[in-house]
Amino acid sequence: MIDNRVKKLAKIIVNYSIEVKKGEKVLIDTTIDDISLATALIDEIYKKGGMPFVNFMDNRILRKILMKSNAEMWKLKAKYDAPFMEDMDCYVAIRGHLNVAEFGDVPSKRLAEYQKEWLHPVHMEIRVPKKKWVVMRWPSPSFAQSANMPTEKFEDFFFNVCTLDYSKMSKAMDPLVDLMNKTDKVHIKGKGTDLTFSIKDIPAIKCDGKMNIPDGEVFTAPVKNSVNGYLTYNARTLYQGTIFDEIYLEFKDGKIVKAEAGKKTERLNQILDTDEGARYIGEFALGLNPYVEEPMLDILFDEKIKGSFHFTPGNAYDEADNGNRSAIHWDMVCIQRPEYGGGEIYFDGKLIRKDGLFVIPELEPLNPENLK
């Protein structure tokens, strides 16, 4: 029997997130052994008159393939997968892991080939800009361990986060979107951080449960060459199978000119040297989900942490495009709540958020106590 919370989540995804219409083709792409959500999604898709399709690839299998793969192989796979993705109307990704470090020993060259030759043409060029889509994680003991929670408690947390009132959040986001669309200069100050950049004429986009579950951010991108200063990220981050802590970046005219991560500095710079665009920023976003408080090494949750922002080396999204192109898109997170050292964000010289809380009246509905 399927948990009623799973059924509720499936209803939100099908009816709100991707709004399945009669006759639409929906690809369910899953990496988990638990079939409960995929089963509930299929039921809901059929209720709407849609057609469900399912792909499955366990991360352990993907690692095995990656270890000895090459660029030509991923080009061939993209040749077949791209037309299939083109033919879909909607896409749901159910992603999860038994081991967060599953790809930790995969050579960076293999991962770069995978991203450039398959992930980018199939997903970044087709799925992201052209399809109705939503990407989500699924709870597991490994996931609970990353969040430092017992498994049962984490499951309760997971469903609270994922099934909040996204329509209420969406309305509260509108004033922030309007303000960002009018803003030129952004100044961020905090512990180990003093950063300036422009977001002039680059659209602000609200993420309100339509593309990610959980959701809760408003993003844009900096003008590519406008970023100057330095930034210390205080949330641990997992990328290409490696866990990084306290990443420090220095910028000059948009480019990352210095990057440090303690003993993992060499690995950090290998990733940032993937291509020219990996050393420029493709996204700036404010995290707003009231239930997500601590990093858990899963970016779909971590980038939504209340009182946080993320500043993303790599590819820009088409919706908020600053022209930067890269096989990398690495959402690195900085939390500005007092227990993480605090911090301030200014738009055109006006303080709009201090220590993780909005301080101007039109944005106060986005503070955590007003969104729960």
pLDDT (tens digit, 9 = 90+) per residue, 75-89? 999 999 999 999 999
pLDDT at 320 over 80: yes
Tell me, what's the pLDDT at 370? 93
Tell me, what's the pLDDT at 260? 98
DSSP-derived secondary structure for 134-192: EEEE---HHHHHHTTS-HHHHHHHHHHHHTS-HHHHHHHHHHHHHHHHH--EEEEEETT
Q: What percent of the chain stands above pLDDT 90?
A: 81
**What is d(CA 215, CA 53) in angstroms, rounded to the nearest whole number?**
24
pLDDT (tens digit, 9 = 90+) per residue, 335-358? 999 999 999 999 999 999 999 999
Structural domains of the chain, with CATH: 4-162 (3.40.1830.10), 166-371 (no CATH)
Tell me, what's the pLDDT at 305? 96
- What predicted TM-score, i.e. pTM, was given to this entire model? 0.79
Q: Among all chains, which residue has been given the structure tokens 């639409």?
A: 24
Tell me, what's the pLDDT at 145? 86
Tell me, what's the pLDDT at 102? 85
pLDDT at 98 over 90: no
pLDDT at 37 over 90: yes
Tell me, what's the pLDDT at 317? 92
For residue 86, CA distances in Å to 49, 55, 220 come to: 20, 15, 26
Mean pLDDT of all residues in 17-41: 96
pLDDT at 306 over 80: yes
Residue 68, Cβ density class (10 Å: 0-12 exposed, 13-18 middle, ≥19 buried) = exposed
Instruction: Band the pLDDT of 54: cuts 50, 70, 90.
Output: very high
DSSP lists the bridge partners of residue 53 as: 27
**78, two tokens:** 């993209």
Looking at every residue in the chain, the average pLDDT score rounds to 94
Nearest to residue 218, comparing CAs of 262, 255, 184, 169? Answer: 169
pLDDT at 1 over 80: no
Mean pLDDT of all residues in 163-175: 93
Looking at residue 357, its amino acid is L
pLDDT (tens digit, 9 = 90+) per residue, 223-260? 999 999 999 999 999 898 889 999 999 999 999 999 99
Mean pLDDT of all residues in 193-217: 95
Q: Among all chains, which residue has been given the structure tokens 């043409």?
A: 121
pLDDT at 103 over 90: no
